A and B are shown apart, each in its own frame.
Chain A
């Protein structure tokens, strides 16, 4: 199948790959509800729309990586505060290791090629 690679698609693929890691790492620093997670992601220049996060959180929760509790809100409906489960923490560690290895490898390659 002939498929041309295009920049936008590649960038989108990269973002997709790390979104789970980012979300888990935001939650590693403590409980948060989706809007807070979004804010933090956006603060770190992860460009996503909010709608992306809700299915992701539900999937992670259904896979037992996350758990949540309800909290009443003054400004709207009750909010779901998510936090990592033990499994989630384990997954995060695993993904972080993979990430570090990958970043090192990629950087090495990129720099290596530039220095040549």
Chain B
């Protein structure tokens, strides 16, 4: 069952199905559009309508009352699509006649549009189409594309994208448009002149509309004319903006895509490591690089391709959309994302369990002697070592051996001993999928600390083989010192002092090359100069903190409808509708 409409075509009444009506309406609109610039347009359209009515009338004779799609299709096939109409115009034929005549007699020439040239194709006719758009020989475009093809295959990609988005010139009208007026200075100025003419006419219409407003009630039409004008101007602006954005999309899309290809081909680096090195050290040799790269390509490359695609569409003003293309790109992107997520999670699960192995180093220090903490330079950075981490040379990977070796810097912590002897502990930490795996890795870490008289000699690096992979391996040296024992901290461990309490407020990295005495609450400096202390005080003042000690007996906290008020011996803080007010009290 279908809804029918009643229409009047060239004075005859027809019952027509809704779909068929839409078809007929579109067809007539296309015809009208085809002849819109011709003198006698209305007459031509009326003639065609009359002929269509005649043909359709014949259809309803056979006891059938309603017109369906098939009837309209048949009539349109006899009449021909606008693009199939042979154009009797050819510019050289009547070159002697005046231009005015030509304008009336012939179709107005169309501006050029990009189409694929199916008559001149090698593959899809993309190059020949572009060549005829730019008035060059297709050979040059083809050559350029072949050259681009050797640039990481981007030529191939570009070709495929262009093949998809540029429609083929199928109808005669499209083929003519493909070879239409070239876009050059002449045609551009011509177009601008015509646009200006149209605008002038519209303004005149508008002006007369305004005049008429006073004589008759034509506000409605004046309003609609004004809005039409605004819409036209806005459309123009929008067109320009969309072209600019399109060009930017194409530019950035292409650049990023090339960057992605470079990274995937191991040319680019992540934090100083190429993708292969990165995955080999972090993910391990058993990690499927192929799938990771495929996933990454799909996950990042597809959105970039779509960006280029949309950009080209904007630039070339192509409105046709390919549902299947969008859909398959979306699906591929999702697949890529899934692959990446799966692989990342499988690596991440290797970090789920953490194990500590704590061993005490055999040492006998005399409490009266000063303890010297020095480094034993068992490893120096080699040229060619991979180097990463926030601190300088925090991690080094030496690839000259098989398997490669990881070198990491240990951290050193000094606390007060519970008894009156000095003891040294080394804690090796590692992560793994399971506890056993993690503790095996921790065991595999090589690290030595030895006593030489009053010197504690610490290896400057701990190491493990890359067969264990990087799984958060860590070494912490813990030194417990009795009260009143003096320690000298060598500056070679400058960035490795780890949460060491000192009563002078000196920052960790500045604690080296100084003598310290252990107290119940941490180290106190024996050899610090006035300058050191001043510097630490300045540092502290730069980050002044207001600590309100609620524990002190006089502290008071009020919470009421006015806000919150805190009063202690250090400060007075009030949070109310007026804002937050802090007053520091003199100690």
Task: Produce 1/0 per residue, A24-56, CB < 8 A to B.
Answer: 000000000011000000000000111110111
Say yes or no for A97: interface residue by CB 8 A criterion: no
Cβ–Cβ contact B86 & A52, under 8 A: yes
Are A6 and B58 interface neighbours, CB within 8 A? no
Q: Size band of the A side of the interface?
A: 35 or more
Task: Report yes or no: A80 in contact with B47, Cβ–Cβ below 8 A.
Answer: yes
Q: Per-residue CB proximity of A47-68 to B under 8 Å, as 1/0?
A: 0111110111111011100000
Are A58's CB and B47's CB within 8 A?
yes
Which of A6, A17, A54 touches B47 (beta carbons < 8 Å)? A54
Bound CA span A20–B11, Å: 30
Instruction: Decide: A54 and B53 in contact? CB cutoff 8 A.
Output: no
Q: Complex: how many Å from CA A15 to CA B47?
A: 22
Interface: A75 (CB within 8 A): yes
Complex contact B120–A62 (CB within 8 A): no
Which residues in A have their C-beta under 8 angstroms from that of B179?
3
Query: For this complex, into which size category does the number of interface residues on chain B fall?
Result: 35 or more
Any chain A CB within 8 A of the CB of B90? yes
Is there an interface contact between A58 and B40, defined as CB atoms closer than 8 Å? Answer: yes
B510 at the interface (CB under 8 A from A): no
> Per-residue 0/1 for B52-93: is the Cβ within 8 Å of any A Cβ (1 yes, 0 no)?
011001100000000000000000001111101111111001
A3 CA to B58 CA, complexed, in Å: 45
Q: Which of B39, B47, B87, B136 contacts A16 (CB 8 A)?
A: B87
In the complex, chain A residues whose CB is within 8 Å of the CB of B79: 49-51
| Contact status B86-A15, CB under 8 Å | yes
Chain A stretch 53-111: residues in CB contact (< 8 A) with chain B: 54-59, 61-63, 73, 75-80
B31 contacts A51, C-beta separation under 8 Å: yes
> B82 and A51: CB pair below 8 A?
yes
Complex interface: chain A residues within 8 A of B47 (CB)? 34, 54, 57-58, 80
- Cβ contact within 8 Å between B54 and A77: yes
A77 to B46, CA, bound (A): 11
A62 touches B40 (CB 8 A): yes
The smallest C-beta distance from B156 to any residue of chain A, in angstroms, reads 25
The answer to whether the Cβ of B205 comes within 8 Å of any Cβ in the partner chain is: no
Known pairs A1-B135, A35-B51; A63 contacts B105 (CB<8 A): yes
Shortest Cβ gap from A88 to chain B (Å): 15
A1 CB to nearest B CB, Å: 5
* Residues on A with beta carbons closer than 8 Å to the beta carbon of B88: 16, 19-20, 52, 55-56, 59
Most central of B44, B51, B175, B182 by chain A CB within 10 Å? B51
Give Cα A63 to B39, complex, Å. Answer: 11
Q: In the complex, which of the residues A4, A62, A77 contacts B50, with contact meaning CB atoms closer than 8 Å?
A: A77
Whether the pair B40, A59 counts as a contact (CB closer than 8 A) is yes
List of A residues within 8 angstroms of B172 by Cβ? 12
In the complex, which residues of chain B have a beta carbon less than 8 angstroms from the beta carbon of A17?
90, 93
Chain B residues lying within 8 Å of A6, measured Cβ to Cβ, are: 119-120
Contact of B86 among A12, A57, A61 (CB under 8 A): A12
Question: A55–B57 contact, CB under 8 A?
Answer: no
With beta carbons under 8 angstroms apart, the residue of B12, B54, B85, B105 that contacts A51 is B85
Q: Please name all residues of chain A whose beta carbon is closer than 8 Å to the beta carbon of B86 when the two chains form the complex.
A: 12, 15-16, 19, 48-49, 52
A116 located at the interface, meaning its Cβ lies under 8 Å from any Cβ of chain B in the complex: no
Query: Cβ of A16 and Cβ of B90 under 8 Å apart?
Result: yes
> Is A55 a contact partner of B38 (Cβ separation < 8 A)?
yes
How far is B94's CA from A20's CA once the two chains are assembled, in angstroms?
A: 13
- The A4-26 residues at the B interface (CB cut-off 8 A) are 4, 6, 8-9, 12-13, 15-17, 19-20
Q: How far is the CB of A63 from chain B (nearest CB, A)?
A: 7
B43 sits at the interface (CB 8 A): yes
Determine how close the nearest CB of chain A comes to the CB of B576; give it in whole angstroms: 81
Within the complex, the shortest CB–CB distance from A39 to chain B, in Å, comes to 12
CA A114 to CA B271, docked complex, whole Å: 77
Residue B418, interface by CB 8 Å: no
B132 proximal to A (CB < 8 A): yes
In the bound assembly, the distance between CA atoms of A49 and B104 in angstroms comes to: 23
> Does any Cβ of A come within 8 Å of B10's Cβ?
yes
Residue in A6, A48, A77 whose Cβ sees the most chain B Cβ within 10 Å: A77
Find chain A residues with CB under 8 A from B43 CB. 58
Closest Cβ–Cβ distance, residue A105 to chain B (whole Å): 17
- State in angstroms the CA–CA spacing of A84 and B132 once bound together: 42
Interface centre among A12, A54, A58, A80 (most CB of B within 10 A): A54
Say if the beta carbon of B35 comes within 8 Å of chain A: yes
Across the two chains, which residue of chain B brings its CB closest to A20?
B88
The complex places the Cα of A8 from the Cα of B58 at a distance, in Å, of 34
Determine the chain A residues whose CB is within 8 A of the CB of B12 once the complex forms.
76-77
| Cα distance A9–B179 in the bound complex, in angstroms | 12
Q: Is the CB of B58 within 8 A of A75?
A: yes
Q: Does B282 contact A (CB under 8 A)?
A: no
Complex contact A75–B54 (CB within 8 A) = yes
| B48 contacts the other chain (CB 8 A) | yes
CA distance A63 to B53 in the complex (A): 27
Contacts of B89 in A (CB 8 A): 16
Q: Does B137 reach chain A (CB closer than 8 Å)?
A: yes
CB distance from B286 to the nearest CB of A (A): 58
With A15-B86, A56-B88 already in contact, the answer to whether A77 and B53 are too (CB < 8 A) is yes
A92 to B562, CA, bound (A): 104
The 6 closest A-B pairs by CB, nearest first: A49-B80, A76-B54, A51-B80, A77-B10, A58-B40, A77-B50
Interface residues of A (CB under 8 A from B): 1-4, 6, 8-9, 12-13, 15-17, 19-20, 34-35, 48-52, 54-59, 61-63, 73, 75-80
**8 A-B Cβ contacts within 8 A?**
A19-B88, A34-B47, A35-B51, A55-B38, A62-B104, A76-B12, A77-B12, A79-B50
- The interface of chain B, by Cβ under 8 A from chain A, is 10-12, 31, 35, 38-40, 43-44, 47-48, 50-51, 53-54, 57-58, 78-82, 84-90, 93, 104-105, 119-120, 131-132, 135-137, 172, 175, 179, 182
20 new A-B contacts, CB < 8 A, other than A51-B81, A59-B38, are: A1-B135, A6-B119, A13-B90, A34-B47, A34-B51, A50-B80, A52-B85, A54-B44, A54-B48, A55-B88, A58-B43, A62-B39, A62-B104, A75-B58, A76-B12, A76-B50, A76-B58, A77-B12, A79-B54, A80-B47
